[in-house]
Amino acid sequence: MKVFTFQIALLPAVFTHTSFYGRFRHFLDIIDPRTLFVTERRLREAVQLLEDYKHGTLRPGVTNEQLWSAQKIKQAILHPDTNEKIFMPFRMSGYIPFGTPIVVGLLLPNQTLASTVFWQWLNQSHNACVNYANRNATKPSPASKFIQGYLGAVISAVSIAVGLNVLVQKANKFTPATRLLVQRFVPFPAVASANICNVVLMRYGELEEGIDVLDGDGNLVGSSKIAARHALLETALTRVVLPMPILVLPPIVMSMLEKTALLQARPRLLLPVQSLVCLAAFGLALPLAISLFPQMSEIETSQLEPEIARATSSRTVVYNKGL
């Protein structure tokens, strides 16, 4: 029987995953951008240290802090299902550094049709790759699924954003200042709607084939389509929550800061200040959103297919929800 090596029982958890606060502290580690600069040699050392711990061959003198540091590196860089490296811009630790410039672009005032299309396309292209790279990978996913999901997400985002912009521009009742403020909020419903399409379309293969569920010892119990639905629903909810602080707070903050004497006297500072505001909002939103649910989610076997319940004596099984 196949045994998966995801870190469900290798080390005592630094933070409990049963509480939101514990998951929040855990994911602050996972999204730490410093892990982007970990060398190949350091990664190999971290993986070997965890293997030695697992097999009881750990050399004397290794501390818990060293083990936790090694686990942080492995979880930030390697996919839990495949143990393969995730491409740097699509890791959760790369989401903020690589995603913040896109957010700044989405929130630029006085967007033209071309710029709206461009930034929505770039945003959903990045999201599609992040969703694919952090999916449940217990089943192979053909390139055609990636292309279908990518096209669906981009077309939905651009269509919604352009449609909302056209409606705002035709709203003659708005004053120019109000219209500008409303335009700044347009990216949120566009991105939130597209994010749902993105997750579902990028990971639709999981709904068709199911995802692997494991018992408490990490042994494969079976493949469940019901667990796949739970995984996609939870991930989609995180993608709706994620853009809320990112796309709602900066317009509010910037509308106040633009009235200050400093920015009115130095308009060239507007873009750098907006970039810092977006970076702060992104840094808050990402760990909050992905902490809503555990990555290794638990579900009772009675809620799954009958063949899953018959295949194990465990009352519950776990599955990789993805990030």
Kindly report, residue by residue over 292-310, the tens digit of the pLDDT: 888 888 888 888 888 888 8
d(CA 91, CA 20) in angstroms, rounded, equals: 21
Q: How confident is the model at residue 65 (pLDDT cuts 50, 70, 90)?
A: confident
pLDDT exceeds 50 at position 30? yes
Tell me the pLDDT band of 40, cut-offs 50, 70 and 90.
Answer: very high
Q: Are 78 and 42 in contact (CB under 8 A)?
A: no
Q: Which of 49-63, 66-80, 183-197 has the lowest mean pLDDT?
A: 183-197
Amino acid in position 208: E
* pLDDT exceeds 60 at position 1: no
Model pTM above 0.75:
no
**Cα–Cα–Cα angle for 15, 21, 24, nearest 5°?**
80
Name the pLDDT band for 3 (thresholds 50, 70, 90): very low
pLDDT score of 180: 67
Q: H/E element holding 207?
A: helix 204-209
- pLDDT at position 173: 67
Question: Is residue 208's pLDDT more than 60?
Answer: yes
- Can you count the helices (H) and strands (E) in the chain? 14, 4
* Structure tokens, 42: 């350091």
pLDDT at 97 over 80: yes
Confidence class of residue 9 from pLDDT cuts 50, 70 and 90?
A: very low
What tokens were used for 64? 């818990």
pLDDT at 184 over 70: no
Structure confidence at residue 7 (pLDDT): 43
Tell me the average pLDDT across 146-160. Answer: 77
Amino acid 15: pLDDT: 61
Q: Which residues contact 35 (CB under 8 A, 6 or more apart)?
A: 72, 73, 76, 77, 91, 93
Residue 313 has pLDDT above 90, yes or no: no
Degrees, nearest 5: CA angle 24-49-94 = 40
Q: What is the pLDDT of residue 5?
A: 40
Mean pLDDT of 246-250: 79
